[in-house]
Every structure is written in structure tokens, then in C-alpha cells.
Structure 1
Amino acid sequence: MGVDLAVTGATGRMGRAVLDAASDREDVSVAFAVARDASDREDARDLDAVPVEPARDLDRLLAERDPDALVDFTGPASSVEYVAAAAEAGVASVVGTTGFDDEGEQALRESAERAPVLKAANFGRGVHALVSAVESAVADLPGYDVEVTETHHNRKRDAPSGTAKTILETVEDARPDDPERVHGREGEAPRAAGEVGVHARRAGSITGEHEVLLAGNHEEVRLTHRAEDRGVFAEGALDAAVWLAGRDPGRYEFADAVSADAEATDERDATDERGGSDR
């Protein structure tokens, strides 16, 4: 049986992408979708054959439709509210919202005590691979200068992006000297030893690009991920929802779902090889 989903922020860019991706999959179905800008129920917009209902009805819809998981790409304040409502109903939450402050992060942790919550700054599998590559490269190239640059569309609110922050945390974990983050440069700004440059660009409708530059010893290494469509993130969020539904309360990471999928693939491949050797 497929996983029944509740989708918040359904009229936003990512909400639409999640609904579009769900419509093409057999392992998920949309129980309902909500948005703050939806009109009253009788006038609710129809988005890809899914009625978009007012977000104020979320508690009632969770009780009546009983979804397996909620997928949220909205804003920090609304996300905290939606995840809390889902947790109260015993529904798992997959959160792609970024920009939480300490209070918001604490609220998500409290919700995770009642229901499973998986939060990720980026649901692209390629970004997961990028972070792993960055960890290895930084460890293998001690002393090399590191610069992190991210580029997104001109409507993105938080800077640097959540993915860039994850990359920066990875760099800092790999370097015991606790490098200093320097956001942009202006005027006389020679590079200090141990700093990590951080640059955020906002332009046009760019979906998302992250580059990590390591330079030293008369050479440079560039690690780049470029997302060409929001469907990449929507598909990853749906994969996470399928994996998360039915799990015990707690805080989970997208890496958990990716690793589990990789292990399952390895097991299938091993089974196929054993079957082939018997024929």
C-alpha cells in the first residue's frame, strides 16, 4: 500500500513540485493539501486535481483523513505550527523548510518526542554525495583555503542557504582548528589563515547551486552541485516520507533514508547475483 500524504504550502513553488511529483508515483498518494492563501473550502483552488484547503483546517483534516506523513516546505513559523499539529495527531513530518532560529529548532525537537520528524536542508541525493565528498576533500587537503558559494533565485529569504550551512558544518567538523566563517569581503580584506569564505548570490529563477573551492599548493579543487529543477528536491522529500512513515518518534536525517535505500539496493543486487550463479 502507498503512503498517504498531507502537503502544506501547496500553492508555493515547492508545494506545487511535491504535488506534481506525487501524481507520478505509485508509492504515495495525497490525502489532502493546505495553504494559508487558499480561500474558504467551497472556493478552494484545484491544483493538479488536489483541492487546496485552508491551512486553518489542518487539525481537522489530520483527524479526518489520517495521513501517514506530512511534507512541509513553507516558512519557519508556519512549519513549527504544522509539525506540532502533525505530532499531536501522531503523524510523521518531513521538513524541507530552512531558516529556523534556536527556538524553532527546539520546537521541532519537542515535536519529535511525539512523532517521527525528518528535517533536511536539501533533499537532493546529489547534495548528499557532495557533502560526503567535501568531508573527504577537506580532510585530505589540510591547510588549503576553502570558499563556499551558493546561488539561488531572487525570492529566497534565508542566506546563506541551509545547504551551505550544512557544508560549512562539514568543513568545520573536518578541521580541528575551528575555522572562522567570513561572509563576503569588502575593502581591504586579505584572507586570514584558517578562515572559510561564505558567499550568497540571489538572481533570477536559479533553482540552486553550491560550489566548494579548495585551493593551495598551486592547485585547486572545485566540488559543485547544480539543481536544474525543484522536482529533484520534491522526489527526495517523497522518498523520505515513504521511509519515515510508521517509524518510532524521534529526529531523523535524510542521510538515514539514503543509506537505508543504498543498503536495500545492495541486498537486491547480491540476491540477483546469487540467483544468477545458480542458473
Structure 2
Amino acid sequence: MMRESSETRVLVSGATGRMGRRVIEEADARDDAGVVAGVSRELSGEIDGRPIEPASEFESALAEYDPDVLVDFSVPEASQEFVGDCAEADVACVVGTTGFTEGGEAALREASERVPVLHASNFSRGIQALLRAVGNAVHDLPGYDVEVTESHHRHKRDAPSGTANTIIDRIESAGEFDGRVHGREGDALRESDEIGVHARRAGGIRGEHEILLANDHEELRLTHRAGSRAVFADGALDAAVWLTGRTPGRYDFSEVVAE
């Protein structure tokens, strides 16, 4: 049964990180979602008037602030514990953390048996359009060489990015390829059925992804650049509002964009 209240109550994990802070900021401009509190491994106190609790007290924060949904931009090890606690407390989960191991993926699956869980590597609506375009391009250009390059800020942990992996998954589902080659060095002649993957880390780049398709006569480049983290924060809040009140299960951000 869908929730009747006009405002979704959001708890943010990873609240002191770049994305967590931006989610709190963007929620202030909305009337359909409000951040009631945050949790962080780094400090406790307040951000923009929102109480920030230590991550070690996550279960207590769920009980005290009674959120409808968790928006998680933390780290894989913490995230999988948070979603387990949310499943126990009947709190929906929007997860933007990437870099999960098989154990982390299993934790998401287990939580989704009890509460609605939406895990996305990217909450940009533009990326959703890019994924559709990439699938069509690979299907329409069989035999073309494919290279994926992604660039992010110097502090990003996982490489390739979760978004790049999602793009590559779409490429592989739309064509016939025989593996991924991460960077090249030395005697590294390109194979016709490989996908080249390149990750760059520098400065404060918010996120750039380019897909190059080429043969001997032409090339096609599909590129997405994020100008601000606000696009990801707004998308995560859109997902939180959309997910609240839904039945347990795994959901995809493409479903949010489609409505």
C-alpha cells in the first residue's frame, strides 16, 4: 500500500561525504522528501540542522528517527550492514554505494526479500538515456571496436566506476564480445572482440563517461558529463520518494525514470 503522507522521511548514511552532504542540501529544496537525520563514521553533530549520529549507532537511529527510506552513499562494508538493519526495521533502501563484493551483493538480495531495495551505480537521468543509446548503437554497429573511458575525482575508490561497469554490461548484452581489457601496456595488439576499459582519476572531476565505437571508416562517440553532484542527489531523492511504500523486492532506477 502506498504511503499517503506527502513527505518521505529520509535517513542518509555517509552523511558527511560529498554525496551525503549534497543529498541533505537538495532535500531542502523539495516538498516531497525531507532528511530527518544522517549517520557517519567520521563525526556526529549536525549538518544544516540535521542531527548526525555515529554509524555504530545505526540501529538506534532507525528507531529514533523512524525513516521511511535509507539513502546510502557510504562504503560497501558499512552499506551491507546498513541494509541488513533496515530489513529488520522495515525501512526501504536506496543504495548508491558501488564496489560491492559478492558478499555485499548477497546482502542486498537478502534485504530485498523483506523490504524494497533500489541499488543504482548512477542516479542521473542522462545516464539512463545514455544506456539506451549505447545498447542501440552496439546493436546497429556489429563488428565495430568499442572502448569505454571514465574519469572521476582523485578520491574515488573503485575502478572502473560502477557506472562504467553498468555501461559495459549493456554493451555486452547488445553485442558479441569476448572479454574486457583494462588499459594497455607494452605489446598489446587490440583484439576485434574485446572491450577496452580505461579509468582516470584526477582533481575534482564529478564524473565523465565516453563510449567510442569505431571501424576503419568512421567513429561514433557517446559522452556524458556530470556538471554537479546535485544531479545524483536529486535522482537518489526521486528514487526514495518512488520506492517508499512499495512491496519488497529489487528495483532499478530505470523504473523511476520511466514514470
Give the TM interval when normalised to the shorter protein. Answer: over 0.9
Q: Which amino acid aligns with 1:79?
A: S
Q: Give runs of ≥4 in structure 1 deviating > 2 Å.
A: none
Q: Which amino acid aligns with 2:183?
A: G
**Structure 1 residues not aligned, in runs of 5+:** 261-279
Matches within 5 A, 1:1-279: 1-39=6-44, 44=45, 46-175=46-175, 177-260=176-259
**Structure 2 residues not aligned, in runs of 5+:** 1-5
Separation (CA, whole Å) in 1 of partners of 2:111 and 2:40 = 21
| Larger deviation, residues 47-56 vs 128-137 | 47-56
Separation (CA, whole Å) in 1 of partners of 2:253 and 2:117 = 10
Deviation of 1:128 after TM superposition, in Å, equals: 0.5
- Which structure: larger Rg? 1
Separation (CA, whole Å) in 2 of partners of 1:195 and 1:18 = 38
TM-score, normalized by length of structure 1? 0.89
Separation (CA, whole Å) in 2 of partners of 1:166 and 1:131 = 8
TM-score, normalized by length of structure 2? 0.96
3-state SS in 1 of match to 2:198: strand
Separation (CA, whole Å) in 2 of partners of 1:216 and 1:37 = 49
Q: Is the 8 A contact 2:150 2:160 kept in 1?
A: yes
Q: Is the 8 A contact 2:177 2:195 kept in 1?
A: no
Considering fraction of residues, name the structure with more helix.
Answer: 1
3-state SS in 1 of match to 2:129: helix
Paired-residue identity, %: 60
Separation (CA, whole Å) in 2 of partners of 1:159 and 1:7 = 24
Q: Which amino acid aligns with 2:206?
A: T
Cα-to-partner distance string for 1:73-98 (whole Å, 9 max, x where unaligned): 01000000111111110000000000
CA RMSD of aligned residues (A): 0.9
3-state SS in 2 of match to 1:211: strand
Provide the residue aligned with 1:277 in structure 2. none
Separation (CA, whole Å) in 2 of partners of 1:203 and 1:64 = 40
Q: Which amino acid aligns with 1:219?
A: E
Deviation of 1:217 after TM superposition, in Å, equals: 4.2
Separation (CA, whole Å) in 2 of partners of 1:38 and 1:193 = 50
Ranked by relative contact order (alpha carbons within 8 Å, sequence separation 6 or more), the top structure is 2
3-state SS in 2 of match to 1:80: helix
Cα-to-partner distance string for 1:39-70 (whole Å, 9 max, x where unaligned): 4xxxx2x2111121112222122123211100
